[in-house]
Chains A and B, each alone.
Chain A
Amino acid sequence: MTTSTYLPAGLPAPLPAVDGLDVPYWEGTRRGELLVQRCGSCGTWQWGPEWLCHRCNTFEMQWQPVDGNGLIYSWQRPWHPAHSVLRDFGPYLVVLVELPAAGSIRMVGNLLGPADQQVVIGAPVEAVFEPHDDAEHPYTLVQWRLTP
C-alpha cells in the first residue's frame, strides 16, 4: 500500500453504478471535489444519488460541489467483524453526517482519529478525501474528521 487508509484493505470497493447514475460523484472524489445532487428545476438537494427529484418529479438532478462542512447526525462503533479483513482490527467508527449547507442531506463515512474517542451528536466535522490508488479500479472515499 502506498496510501494510508482508515480501514484495512480488502473491504468491498465501490464501483460506479453500471447505469451511470453516480459516475460524476466518483470522478469528483478522485479530483478532491465533493459533488452531491441538486435539482436544476426546484433546487431540492438529494442524497444518495437518484434519477428523479422527489419534490418536483423532474429528471433535472444536477451535480453541485459542496464545501464538506457537516454535523454528526448519528454514529456507531462496530466491534463485531462482519468481514474477514476486519478480524482482529476493530472497533472503528462510522458516522452519519448531515450537511446543513446542502439541505441537510446525510452522508456515511468513518470518523478519523482514535476509535475510542467520545463521539458527540451535533459536533462539526469536515470532509477528508481518502484515495485508494492501489485498488484494481482506483477510487477515493470521503471521510470525516472533527473540525479543528
Chain B
Amino acid sequence: MSGRGIRGKVAVAGIGETTYYKHGQSPDAEFVLALRAILRAAEDAGISPREIDGFASYANDRNEPSRIAAALGIPDLRFSNMQWGGGGGGVAAAVGNGAAAVAAGLADCVVVYRALAQGQFRRLGAALPDPTVSGDMAYLAPYGALSPAQRFAMQATRFMHDHGVEHGVLRAIAMASYQHAQANPRAVMHGRPLDAETYDNSRWIVEPVNRLFDCCQENDGAAALILVSAERARDLRQPPAYLLAAAQGSDQRRGAPVMNAPDFGSGSFNTVAPRLYEAAGVAPGDIDVVQAYENFTTGVMMAIVEHGFCAAEECNDFFTLENLTAPAGRMPLNTSGGNLAECYMHGLGLQLEAVRQIRGQSCNQVPNARLAMNIAGPMVTPVSSLIMGSEETL
C-alpha cells in the first residue's frame, strides 16, 4: 500500500497479558505487571524484548517508557508516546499512534501497554476526597455528580429518550459479555454466569440507565501488544493481525464544559466512525466481530449505533443476546467477556481479543473472522476506534 494511511503497513505480531485479578488482589507491583505482559507479548511474537524500540500508552499510565526500557535493557529507545485523555478513550488511539510510528519509520517495534493495580493507588469509581473543587467539577461535585457513572448517565438518558430505547438493550449487552466469559478461563467472571432475572434484580447504580451489571469491574493486571511492519510480521511466529485503520477524536465541542456538547446524547463517535471506515475501505456490514469498550453498557449501545451497525430506532430489535453472541450472532460482541466479565484492563484486553479473532484463537471464535473492529472509551473525549484484518483483507 502507498499513501498516507496505515492500511496494511503495520500488524500486531504479539499479545501478552498477566493473570487478571480482582481489584486489589495482585501479588505483583503494578510495574511488575507491566513488565510481565510486555515479556509475554514478545515471547508470543517470537522476538527478543530488546527489539522493542517504542512505547505507546494512554489514560496516564504510571509506568514510564524510560523505566521499562531500562528494565528490559533496550539499547535504543526511539518512540515514547502517551495519548491524551483519561479513561479508555485512548486504547485504539494508542494502537494507532504506535502503528503510525512504525509506518513512518520513527520506530520498528512498538509495544502498546497498560498496567493497572488500582489497589496500590486511588480507586477509579470513588469520588475525589478533596474538600473543595474548582473548574468543571465545581459545577458537578456539589450536586452529587461525582463518579464516572454519574458523569456519563445523562448522555445515555437523553439518547434513550430521544430514540425510544428500552432497558433490554443494556441487559443484552451485559449478558453477552457474561456468556462469552463462561468459555474464557482467563475471565474474572468465568464460572459466574449472569441470567436475565439476576440482571433485572440487581441494584441501581444510577437510575434510569445503569444497574450493577451495566458497569465495568475494577481489576488488577496488565496487557500488551506488539506492532511491527507488515513485512516483519509475516516472518514471525503468529498470523499477523493487520491494522486497516485507526481513528480518534470527537465531534464539535464534545469537551464543552458542564455537559454542553452540542450533540450531547451520544457516544462521541459521530465524526470518528466515518473517518475510520473511509480509511479502512470497508463498511459496517463487512465487519465480522466487534469488541466495544464497556465503561457502561450505555456507551456500547451508542457507540455501536454511531459505527453504523444499526439505527438508533432499531436498538430494541438489534441488541438481543442471540445477535450479540458468538459463533452465530449477527454481530458477535465482546467475545472475551470484555471489561464487564473478562477484566477491566482499561480496554486493552479487548484489543487482544480482536487479534485472537483474526488469528482464529478466541475462546469464542467467530468462524472465519477476517475483519475485527475495536471501539474504545465511549462518551469521553477523545475516543478512538480501529479495524484489524487478516491477510486476505489487504
Q: CB distance A83 to B144 under 8 Å? A: yes
Docked Cα-Cα span, A123 to B107, in Å, equals 56
Docked Cα-Cα span, A83 to B128, in Å, equals 8
For B140, the chain A residues whose CB sits under 8 A away are 108
For B320, the chain A residues whose CB sits under 8 A away are none
B264 within 8 A of A: yes
B311 within 8 A of A: no
**Binary contact readout B285-301 vs A (1 if CB under 8 angstroms, 0 otherwise):** 00000000000000000
Docked Cα-Cα span, A105 to B57, in Å, equals 35
Q: CB distance B158 to A48 under 8 Å? A: no
Given contacts A22-B138, A108-B143, contact A75 B206 (CB under 8 A): no
Residue in A17, A76, A82 whose beta carbon sits within 8 Å of that of B134 in the complex: A17
- When A and B form their complex, what is the total count of cross-chain residue pairs whose Cβ atoms lie within 8 Å? 144
Q: CB distance B154 to A80 under 8 Å? A: no
Q: CB distance A80 to B204 under 8 Å? A: yes
Residue in A18, A105, A136, A141 whose beta carbon sits within 8 Å of that of B143 in the complex: A141
A146 within 8 A of B: no
For B206, the chain A residues whose CB sits under 8 A away are 76-80
Closest Cβ of chain A to B7, distance in Å, is: 34
Closest Cβ of chain A to B125, distance in Å, is: 7
Residue in B141, B154, B260 whose beta carbon sits within 8 Å of that of A48 in the complex: B260
B328 within 8 A of A: no
- Size bin of chain A's contact surface: 35 or more
Q: CB distance B161 to A16 under 8 Å? A: no
**Binary contact readout B138-180 vs A (1 if CB under 8 angstroms, 0 otherwise):** 1111111111011001110110010000000000000000000
Given contacts A79-B203, A79-B207, A96-B259, contact A107 B130 (CB under 8 A): no
Given contacts A14-B132, A48-B139, contact A94 B155 (CB under 8 A): no
For B131, the chain A residues whose CB sits under 8 A away are 12-13, 136
Q: CB distance B134 to A96 under 8 Å? A: no
Closest Cβ of chain B to A21, distance in Å, is: 8
Q: CB distance B143 to A7 under 8 Å? A: yes
List residues 203-250 of chain B with CB under 8 A from any CB of chain A. 203-209
Docked Cα-Cα span, A13 to B161, in Å, equals 32
A74 within 8 A of B: yes
B135 within 8 A of A: yes
For A50, the chain B residues whose CB sits under 8 A away are 257
Residue in B127, B142, B157 whose beta carbon sits within 8 Å of that of A82 in the complex: B127
For B205, the chain A residues whose CB sits under 8 A away are 78-80
For A74, the chain B residues whose CB sits under 8 A away are 154-155, 157-158, 161, 264-265
Q: CB distance A12 to B141 under 8 Å? A: yes
Q: CB distance A11 to B142 under 8 Å? A: yes
Docked Cα-Cα span, A139 to B131, in Å, equals 14
B137 within 8 A of A: yes
Which 3 residue pairs of A and B lie closest in terms of their CB atoms, listed nearest first? A48-B257, A14-B138, A48-B258
In the complex, 15 of the A-B residue pairs with CB atoms within 8 angstroms, ordered by the A residue number, are A7-B143, A12-B133, A12-B146, A14-B132, A14-B139, A17-B138, A74-B155, A76-B150, A76-B208, A78-B205, A82-B127, A94-B144, A96-B158, A106-B260, A107-B139
What would 18 more interface pairs be, CB under 8 Å, given A12-B131, A76-B154?
A7-B144, A11-B142, A12-B128, A13-B133, A14-B141, A14-B142, A17-B134, A17-B135, A22-B138, A78-B153, A78-B205, A79-B203, A82-B149, A82-B150, A96-B158, A108-B145, A121-B157, A136-B131
